[in-house]
Amino acid sequence: MKYSGWPESGELVVGEVDEITDFGVFVDLDEYENKRGLCHISEVASGWIKNVRDHVREGQTVVAKVLDVDEGAQQIDLSVKDVNEHQRKDKIQEWKNQQKADNWMEIAFGEDVDDERYSAVANAILAEFESLYEGFESAAIHGAEALDDVDLDDEEVRAVVQTARQNVSVPYVTVTGYVDIRCPTGDGVDSITEALQAAEGNGEVPEEIDLAVTYVGSPEYRIRVQAPDYKTAENALESAAGRARESIEAAAGTAEYHRERREDDE
């Protein structure tokens, strides 16, 4: 998706070196329609520059900082030297994510989708998310629920979610905890089984969370959680242990939650 407007001063932009002259470098901006910027030789690199071509080449992708925009003169002044390596890597990753999201939009709505519909869907997603990529990623994790506040019809929501689920590689984190479950009553085995089922959520764990409870060695059980981020994973882990405790205590048993395995079980 290319923006039809103008970049703002201070913004980082991605572009391709189109022309190299003795006084600087012309850069075609990849994120803006029909926009070209000039990076003066003094802004190409720090220190004295004998030959601009020692620092950039035609066709090279660069990240530049917008120094000034003069819409009347159709001029955009850029600086490559003012962008540090960390900023460059982050911006390139953001740009690559944007390209992926553009591709997903074509998959969801067809390569021949007209500009009006594309813009309507994109703007609706951007009204709720910082980027199209973030919108698709959230749809991959949370499904249609992620788009509840997005102004899309049911068909559009299904297209986004289906495409996201099939194409977005979602980062997951894994956390593990342990719970010791004991029940001295005559039907203790059944009560422990019910407590373990409660820990697993009885089928009501959110679909973005993968939760499994496995036997380690009496009375210890392992709870393993995969989730999109650590906060979600930790909350799910503690909730699972809490459900097990509540269930077994109702049956006159006990449950003790801990994060590390007991030394005598090693």
In this predicted model, what pLDDT tens digit does every residue of 22-79 receive, in sequence order? 999 999 999 898 999 999 999 999 988 889 999 999 999 999 999 999 999 999 999 9
CATH classification at residue 244: 3.30.70.1130
For residues 161 and 177, membership in a common domain is answered with: no
Domain termination residue (choose one: 123, 144, 167): 167
In a domain, 7, yes or no: no
Among 58, 81, 104, the domain boundary falls at: 81
* 19 found inside a domain: yes
CA–CA distance, 229 with 236 (Å, rounded to integer): 11
Where do we find the tokens 């309507």? 120
Residues 201 and 256 in one domain: yes
Q: Are residues 177 and 261 in the same domain?
A: yes
pLDDT value at 1 more than 70: no
pTM: 0.63
Residue 5 lies in a domain: no
Pairs from 197-203 (Cβ < 8 Å, separation ≥ 24): 198/243, 198/244, 198/246, 198/247, 199/223, 199/240, 199/241, 199/243, 199/244, 199/247, 200/240, 201/240, 201/243
Please count the structural domains in the chain: 3
CATH number at residue 76: 2.40.50.140
pLDDT tens digits for range 147-194:
999 999 999 999 999 999 999 887 788 999 999 999 998 888 999 999
Owner of token pair 């010791």:
180
Where residue 140 sits, what CATH number does that domain have? 1.10.150.190
Residue-number span of the structural domain to which 151 is assigned = 87-167
Residue 35 in any domain: the answer is yes
